[in-house]
Amino acid sequence: MQFKQGPTPELSGARRRFPPAILAFFIQVAALVLLWCMGQVVSWLEWGSLPGWALFLAQGAFASLLSMLLGMAVWWRLIHLLFPLAILFMLQWQVPAWAYLLAFCFTLALFWSTYRTQVPFYPSLPATWRQVKDLIPVDKPVSVLDIGSGLGGLVMYLARERPNATCAGIELAPLPWLLSVLLAVLKKSPAIFKYGDYQAVNLSRYDVVFAYLSPAAMPDLWRKAEKEMQAGSLLISYEFEIPGVAPKLQIQERPDAPSIFVWEF
């Protein structure tokens, strides 16, 4: 099947040069410099001093404004605004240092390379699993791969419901991967979970590839799938479209629910 490829959306200069997390760091530093300059002006004019909370709020507001000017996604504006206030809150709460380390290790193991891949962990739900199951051929042996399998819920469900399918998942973040392996052992599931980057996997071995990634990951996924996937195989994406490539099928359970997109090669 031939697909029509449209243009991929252009990113602004700073967004093209840096991953969002690095850009966000620079924005907070720039906001701090702005705040310091504002402090110098205020003290030069002898206008007195601002209360501590107002400084944290101004830091967040400057950073939020900068992120808007640099064209970061909408949710970053809120993150920038709330980040300094969260620091203020934690300082006043006197959280012990080990709690920060623990929280850091937990989020690192859960989100791992999200700053690079721009694909955080969030699981799909059984309603989606059922729709994906209905797309899997029943009349022949098939191999299915979930690229970015998270806790493995979808893969274990498909392995149970489609005995003709060899179901596997690959996951880059250590904590979800480890939990998926443990859950598969506990549930005695035949699902296979590999640790690694799906970019290193040759997709030509799979009849069905499922992806629940993010808008940022879709153009790269398409380039890879187009090169490697075999005639007759299916690429299924939950929620996220491939810019400029019309799917063969779009399934939406309710008007307010995200769609499932299917491309057949």
- The correct pick among 64, 131, 149, 180 for binding ligand SAM (CB under 6 A) is 149
Residue 200 CB, shortest distance to ligand SAM, in Å, is 8
Check: CB of residue 248 under 8 Å from CB of residue 262: yes
Closer to ligand SAM by CB, 31 or 172: give it: 172
Closer to ligand SAM by CB, 84 or 176: give it: 176
Provide DSSP, 130-199: HHHHTTS-SSS-EEEEEES-TT-HHHHHHHHH-TTEEEEEEESSHHHHHHHHHHHHHTT---EEEES-GG
Q: Which stretch binds ligand SAM (CB under 6 A): 51-59, 75-83, 133-141, 171-179?
A: 171-179
Structure tokens at 216: 């940022």
How far apart (Å, rounded) are the C-alpha atoms in residues 143 and 145?
7
How far apart (Å, rounded) are the C-alpha atoms in residues 87 and 48?
24
Residue 171 CB, shortest distance to ligand SAM, in Å, is 5
Tell me which residues in 151-170 interact with ligand SAM (CB under 6 A).
153-154, 170
- The correct pick among 161, 197, 228, 241 for binding ligand SAM (CB under 6 A) is 197
Asked if 207 is part of the footprint of ligand SAM (rule: CB under 6 A), the reply reads: no
**Residue 214 phi, psi dihedral angles, 5° rounding:** -165, 165
How far apart (Å, rounded) are the C-alpha atoms in residues 153 and 124?
8
Asked if 150 is part of the footprint of ligand SAM (rule: CB under 6 A), the reply reads: yes
Asked if 20 is part of the footprint of ligand SAM (rule: CB under 6 A), the reply reads: no
Check: CB of residue 100 under 8 Å from CB of residue 86: no
Asked if 148 is part of the footprint of ligand SAM (rule: CB under 6 A), the reply reads: yes
Cα 68 to Cα 91, 144, 169, 197, distances in angstroms = 27, 40, 37, 31
How far apart (Å, rounded) are the C-alpha atoms in residues 196 and 180?
13
Residue 73 CB, shortest distance to ligand SAM, in Å, is 16
Q: Which stretch binds ligand SAM (CB under 6 A): 12-20, 44-52, 116-124, 244-252?
A: 116-124
- The correct pick among 5, 143, 199, 259 for binding ligand SAM (CB under 6 A) is 199
- The correct pick among 173, 184, 225, 234 for binding ligand SAM (CB under 6 A) is 173
Site for ligand SAM, rule CB under 6 A = 117, 119, 121-124, 146-150, 153-154, 170-173, 176, 197-199, 212-213
